[in-house]
Structure 1
Amino acid sequence: MSSSTLDQAENKSWFVVALFAFAAFIFNTTEFVPIGLLPSIAQSLNVPESQTGLLMTIYAWAVTILSIPLTLAVGTMERKKLLISLFIIFIIAHIFSALAWSYNVLTMSRLLIACAHAIFWSISIPLAMRLAPNGHRAKALAFIVTGSSLATVLGVPLGTAIGQHFGWRITFYLIAAIAALVMLLLIKKLPHSPSQNAGDLKSLPQLIKRATLMQAFLLTALTITGYFTAYTYITPYLREIGGFGDRFVIVVLFVMGIAGILGSILFTRLIRKTVVHTYTIGASLLLACLLCLEYAQSYAWTMLLVALGWGIAITLIAMSLQSKVLEAAADAADLATAIYSGTFNIGIGGGAFVGSLVLDHLGVLYTAHVGAAFVSAALLFFLLVTRRIWVINKSVSQ
């Protein structure tokens, strides 16, 4: 095969990986955009902000419960057909979200989106890494995580700004429209992709016996709970504690997202050059940001500095744990990713729930303090227990 033909094939592969990153952008945007729209949704549907925050919990826990059974149910289904079906469900559910006339209707539509989300995250990363050019699996993972980070760079801030100026319903209509565009591109560009190494019900006992995996899942649940205890309520935190306006909230979300992209670049370098595991760096940085959050409210520049560190930290954490899961379960990648997605969403839902309790009983100031306690527990467990088991210098095969 000529070099020009090889280049064309590689470019096509990267375009497909980029489509997966764009799809990740869409799915993460819709999961997290309620964070910036909590006050608007609460006012529109006449419910307390703490109850609106539970939309995050309900969505995340639905993904947790459904990830494994739905992934097993579609385990043998051809991946292109499956992805298109997921996008059709995703689009229809967003139209219902935009039309929601009550909190219950909005919740039901979000549950339908969560079903599509549960399957998407179970198959997207293994499939994208499979379709990437040879020798670039880690870079493909970085692409997907960058797409996820762009959800906070562009998706959440723009969704928040649109919701504040034109109404939160318009945000959901636009997400549906962008998802339709991504679906059309997938129809045209994604090759026929049979299911491979998806794992089945017989794989579960084998995965459960792997200490590396189980500890990665535990660390995910603890760390992400701490992160979302604070992050879910960042809008009221900045308003009430910092006295900042809506525009600055959007700037903070934007900086966090930009930092996420920087974090993905940093990860690809750290994972090759340092013996200190990237999880240690990310969790330590996140803990520092949460502990400093209250004191950073005095000045805009200090808050932006914390937001920068915050975004880098969560990206290092997520990529570190995801890469370890894929390394430890290459023989059942879809199923292992489904469990990882489920535990990640346990953290999202748990953090939103814990944060709502803190908001109601202690006040928004203490969301960061409680979040820091969860991250401290996770970091301590990693340093005392997990670090002995994980092979530090081993990463996803390049």
Structure 2
Amino acid sequence: MMQKKQRMNLREALPLAGITVSTFIFCTSEFMPVALLTDIALSFSVTESQAGMLISVYAWMVMLLSLPLMIAASRIGFRRLFLIIVALFAFGQLLSSLATSYFMLMAARIVVACAHAIFWSIAPPMAVRVVSEDHRHMALGMVVMGESVALIAGLPLGRVIGLALGWRMTFACVAIITVIIFIYLYFVLPIIPATKPFSVRRLPVLFKTKTLRSLYLFVGVMMTAYYMCYSYIEPYLLQSVGLEEQTVTVVIAFFGVAGILGSVLFSKIYARQRVKFLCGCLLGLVTAFFVLFISQEFLIGVLGACVVLGMGSTAMNAALQSEVIRYSSLDDQAVATSIFSAIFNFGIGSGSALGGVVTSCVSVGSIGAAAGALGLVAFLYCVIVLIPRLRIART
């Protein structure tokens, strides 16, 4: 007879809630320019493609800094390190709100990227370490849900504040909220000892795991495809679909609503059907890309595609992070996750840059077709290479 799982106690729930809310605010900040792209471009008299580089450069800095910063910080206890990066994040948001030029805003975003580079390296491992083993999948699902809620409430709310009071006020509000989160975390985060300091000489050992290598390559290609589309969803909805400003805000919120459903499905299904779950997410995403391309005059089709994109991306992100943790040792999890974060952000930056090229050279309405084509490449790689390796049980 199976033992009934014990309910999560307050000692586990309070720090997990803090990590989840931190994820919400970090993700709100990361993708804030997506919801404010047009206003930022107008404010500094730059094109939407140039404004989109705020997303690309941010992501590339996270990519470049994730591994070296995590290795440098591997001697610091997780609690202390988490508080440091939250404080740095708040400082970067304050600088963003005070930016008086495009390049000053870019510099402020790089400060935020330094905090973000370490955040995604330790947030998932921290979430699974503050709870018991029975609740680890739920904990990881909660972290991913923070990202989904950012899409539901964070980005639309940021957009509303930006339209009403200016985009600088949006960044200022994020800074204030982050200070409140810092105070909460200071009192509820338990002491989590640092793992064994990571040496660069152990990197080749980490990369000897074929499954990790396959996961990393897949993440780079698929995230490039996804963010080629998602980074320009606001101008796509405004220009190609012809929606009003307020309606665009609602549609962007659809991503987050669907994302919560995706995180719930991950918590309920993934542990029992790992491979089928991942394949289903991937197939849904590739289909939704092409639907965006062919359904520009049909709002129902566009909304349906947005729901699938929000649900599929959130669920797949959680599944991929879980696989990275599964195939890395306890001492290597933070660094393995930092590599995942670096490659994930490579995909964000590359996708945003390629989406800008498609937007400038073809049209913003073609981003779905371009993303779908690259998504098909990722799908073939997943079926031929990644899935057979994931089917092999870890010994």
1:341 and 2:341 aligned: yes
Give % identity. Answer: 34
* Structure 2: segments with no counterpart, 5+ residues: 1-5
Deviation for aligned residue 1:310: 1.1
Deviation for aligned residue 1:391: 2.2
Distance 1:36 1:198, change over 3 A: farther
Contact 1:197 1:333 in 2 (8 A): no
Q: What's 2:55 paired with?
A: 56
Q: Secondary structure of the residue that 1:193 maps to in structure 2?
A: coil
1:130 and 2:129 aligned: yes
Q: What's 1:165 paired with?
A: 164
Q: Distance in 1 between matches of 2:274 and 2:42?
A: 50
Aligned partner letter, 1:390 = L
Aligned partner letter, 1:92 = F
Contact 1:75 1:200 in 2 (8 A): no
1:370 and 2:370 aligned: yes
Distance 1:275 1:224, change over 3 A: closer
Deviation for aligned residue 1:115: 0.3
CA offsets, 1:328-358, max 9 Å, x none? 0133100000000000001000100000111
Q: What's 1:219 paired with?
A: 218
Q: Distance in 2 between matches of 1:203 and 1:334?
A: 13
Deviation for aligned residue 1:303: 2.1
Distance 1:101 1:264, change over 3 A: same
Deviation for aligned residue 1:244: 0.5
Q: RMSD value over aligned CA atoms?
A: 1.7
Distance 1:368 1:197, change over 3 A: farther
Aligned counterparts, 1:161-240, within 5 A: 161-196=160-195, 199-240=198-239
Q: What's 2:3 paired with?
A: none
Deviation for aligned residue 1:275: 6.4
Deviation for aligned residue 1:148: 1.1
Deviation for aligned residue 1:300: 3.0
CA offsets, 1:186-237, max 9 Å, x none? 0111112211256432321111111100110111111110000011001110
Q: Secondary structure of the residue that 1:297 maps to in structure 2?
A: coil
Q: Distance in 2 between matches of 1:144 and 1:325?
A: 15
CA offsets, 1:129-168, max 9 Å, x none? 1011331111100000001111111111111111111100
Distance 1:275 1:217, change over 3 A: closer
Contact 1:56 1:352 in 2 (8 A): yes
Distance 1:275 1:108, change over 3 A: closer
Q: Distance in 1 between matches of 2:56 and 2:76?
A: 29
Q: Distance in 2 between matches of 1:192 and 1:325?
A: 24
Distance 1:393 1:208, change over 3 A: closer
Q: What's 2:387 paired with?
A: 387
Q: What's 1:111 paired with?
A: 110
Deviation for aligned residue 1:326: 0.4
Q: Distance in 1 between matches of 2:198 and 2:223?
A: 25
Q: Distance in 1 between matches of 2:223 and 2:34?
A: 15
- The total of aligned residue pairs comes to 389
Aligned counterparts, 1:1-398, within 5 A: 10-196=9-195, 199-274=198-273, 276-331=275-330, 332-391=332-391
Contact 2:296 2:365 in 1 (8 A): no
Distance 1:351 1:219, change over 3 A: same
Aligned partner letter, 1:33 = M
Q: Distance in 1 between matches of 2:256 and 2:249?
A: 11
Q: Distance in 2 between matches of 1:24 and 1:37?
A: 20
Moved over 4 A (4+): 392-395
